[in-house]
Amino acid sequence: MKLTITLIELKNPFKFFALSYSALHILQQLKQSNYVAMKKRGLWTTHYTMTLWHNERDLKDFAASGAHLKAMQESAKIAKHIKTLTIDANEFPSWTEAKRLLAEVKPIVFR
C-alpha cells in the first residue's frame, strides 16, 4: 500500500477559509475514490493530512483529477509552502513520526 503525508503552511490565518472550502470538495472526491483511510490535523496556519491507498495508481488517479487537482493548481494563492511524501506503508505512523518524516522533505515554496 501507499501512504501520502502532506503539510501545508498557510500564508496567513485568513487563508484558512479558502483551505476549508477546498478541503470540503476534496473530501467529497476522496469518498468517491478507492482510498483505504485518511487522517487530518491542523491548527492556525499549519495543516497535515495522511492518506492510505491500495496502490500508486489509485493515489495518482485521485491526485491528478477533480477538486484535488484544482486545489493543487491554486495552492500558491494560499500556501507559503507545501511538503508531501509518499512511501510504502500498511498503516498510519504516529503524528510525531509523520512530522519527523516530513522534516526531511524539501518544501515547494511559494512567493
How do residues 36-93 score in pLDDT, each as one tens digit?
999 999 999 999 999 999 999 999 999 999 999 999 999 999 999 999 999 999 999 9
Starting at the earlier edge strand, list the strands of the sheet with 46-53. 35-43, 46-53, 2-10, 79-88, 108-109
Q: CA 33 to CA 11: how far, in whole Å?
A: 30
pTM: 0.94
Which domains are assigned to the chain? Answer: 2-109 (3.30.70.100)
CA angle (38, 86, 58) in 5-degree steps: 65
d(CA 99, CA 50): 11
In the numeric block, which cell numbers belong to residue 56?
500508486
Return all residues near 82 (Cβ < 8 A) that are at least 6 apart: 6, 7, 8, 9, 75, 107, 108, 110
Q: Which of 17, 7, 25, 6 is nearest to 78 (CA)?
A: 17
The string of pLDDT tens digits covering residues 13-37 is: 999 999 999 999 999 999 999 999 9
Q: What is the DSSP letter of 44?
A: T
